[in-house]
Amino acid sequence: MTALLNVTKLSASYGDFRVLHGIDLTVERGGVTALLGANGAGKTTTLRALCGMIKHSGDVVFDGVDIARCATEDIARLGIAHVPEGRGTFIALTVEENLRCGAMTRKGRASIDDDIERAYHWFPRLKERCGQQAGTLSGGEQQMLAVARALMLRPKLMLLDEPSFGLAPIIVSELFSILRKVNEQEGVGMLIVEQNAALALELARQAFLIETGRILISGSVTEIRDNESIRAAYLGY
């Protein structure tokens, strides 16, 4: 059985400035892949390129479909939900309207309403604030809203860009335990970008280490964890 996401020789640039130099990576069906690396290594750029948000070349095959030349909205429609850097909240809309925006590609009001309840079940705090303007939420709540909105798409694959960024440790562990449940119970594949390597490696089964736009090392999480020199040099723990 082929992988859920298969990326080969992905290159991307901002204007003339090349950021990615032909990277290969995979996400297994129902698997979690961590993409690790320092600031400026090209992690966010990789996610943006996968979603067609920036100019890129190379092959991207998702669920047997070549999406390398698809528009961002069509990629979302195929079942890839991107939780972007900065959370991408619709700040003027209410919390519930934000969730409904996440389900915009789907049909059937009843199943969408069910999924809103499901989102509130995962994130009870959002239920308390369902009618509130989303811009008034705290950073942690907005991150939860971003994840909940992505789940509304009923995705096959989630791209998570630094979900722990700027959050208090207790919120981070809450969020990651929910992500783990979503992955285990609903089989949603995940590609997770994190600077907090320890955290990401707890969730992931496969990891890719990226440095200045190139994949340096890849392998199963156990291999990467057990390699003392990698840990010391790149993961910093």
Partner 1 sequence: MELLIQQLVSGVATGGIYACMALSIVMIYQAIHHLNFAQGEMAMFSTFIAWQLLQWGLPYWIVIPLTVAISFSGGIAIERIVIGPLGEAAVLSHAVVFIGLYAVINSLASFIWDFTTRPFPSPFGAGSQFGNLISNQQIGMIAVTLLVLALLYAFFRYTRVGLAMRAAAENPTSARLAGIRVGLMAALGWGMAAAVGSIAGVLIAPIVFLEPNMMLSILLYGFAGAVLGGLSNPAGAVAGGFAVGVIENLAGTYVPVIGSELKLPIALLLIVIVLVFRPTGLFGRTIVQRV
Choose which of 8, 57, 133, 173 interacts with partner 1 (CB under 8 A): 133
Which of these segments, 84-92, 174-182, 199-207, 216-224, binds partner 1 (CB under 8 A)? Answer: 84-92
Q: Looking at 149, 201, 206, 221, which residue binds partner 1 (CB under 8 A)? A: 149
Residue with tokens 């030349």: 69
Tokens of 97: 């309207």
Nearer to partner 1 (CB atom), residue 50 or residue 197: 50
Tell the smallest beta-carbon distance from residue 117 to partner 1 (Å): 18
Which 55-74 residues touch partner 1, going by CB under 8 A? 71-74
Per CB under 8 A, the segment of 19-27, 81-89, 197-205, 207-215 that binds partner 1 is: 81-89
Among 21, 88, 202, 216, the residue binding partner 1 under the rule CB under 8 A is 88
145 conformational bin, left if phi > 0, alpha if psi -120 to 50, beta if neither: alpha
| Collapsed DSSP state (helix, strand, coil) of residue 64 | coil
> Which DSSP string corresponds to 186-227?
H--EEEEEES-HHHHHHH-SEEEEEETTEEEEEEEHHHHHH-
Question: Are 57 and 8 spatial neighbours (Cβ–Cβ below 8 Å)?
Answer: no
Q: What angle do CA 92, 94, 96 make, to 5 degrees?
A: 145
Beta bridge partners of residue 217, listed in sequence order: 209
> Is 89 one of the binding residues for partner 1 (CB under 8 A)?
yes
136 contacts partner 1 (rule: CB under 8 A): yes
Using rule CB under 8 A, residue 139 touches partner 1: yes
The contact set with partner 1 (CB under 8 A) reads: 51, 53, 71-74, 76-77, 81-82, 84, 88-93, 97, 100-102, 104-105, 133, 135-139, 142, 149, 153
